[in-house]
Structures are given as C-alpha cells and as structure tokens.
Amino acid sequence: MSILVSLLFVFSATGKLIAHPEVVKGMEHLQLPQSLMRPLGVLELSCAVVYLIPQTSVLGAILLTGYIGGAMLTHLRIGEPVYMHIVIGIVVCLRLYMRRPQLPALVWPARSAG
C-alpha cells in the first residue's frame, strides 16, 4: 500500500519536474504560477522518498499529510471538492499505523491511574 501511495506522488512529481502539458494546464487552472511547478515537484518527490524509507516513514507521513493539506487548500480556494485528498491522507496515515503498531501508544499515551 505504501508503494501505491508513493507511486501516486512520484507520478505527480514527475509531471511537475518535466513540465508535462497537462500539469501546466492544471497549474493555470489552480491559478498557480508555473515557476512553482519544479519546486513543488522536488518537494513532493522528496516527501514520497522519505515516506518509503522505513526508518523515516513517520516523518514522511507527516510531510505528505502537510503536502496534501496544502493541495486541499489550493483546491478549496477555487471551489473544487477535496474528497480524494482526504482519502489519500487517510491512506497515508492508515498505512503508517499498520506498519508501526506502537504508534498509537506514542500519540495517545495511557492515562495514569490516580
């Protein structure tokens, strides 16, 4: 599942890095300057790579979730739905939870009796 999610981001980043015509068209639709295309591609690719490395997967999930949050804001700004972004964010976090079962104990520590 991690590889599928990462491939989605890698595919998107590659389109930005090579300035694919559909990505250029999408950037115009989102009212974003084309000068942001390559930096966004590098950022997206970096986050996906960090997410794929088991030792840095928690950091990668945080970075990807932040990236998805920015994408959601961009789409909301022009009145587009963000359902797919929410699903991708849930899958990123769910996969991390499945890979690291000790994670909930770190996020929600048990309350001490007292």
Q: Is 105 or 39 the better-scoring residue by pLDDT?
A: 39
> What residues does each domain of the chain span?
2-101
Cβ(17)–Cβ(34) below 8 Å: no
pLDDT value at residue 24:
96
pTM of the model: 0.83
Evaluate if residue 31 carries a pLDDT over 60: yes
pLDDT band at 114 (very low <50, low <70, confident <90, very high): very low
Evaluate if residue 19 carries a pLDDT over 90: yes
Q: Crossing angle, helix 57-77 and helix 83-99, to 10 degrees?
A: 170
Cα–Cα distance for residue pair 81/107, rounded to 1 Å: 30
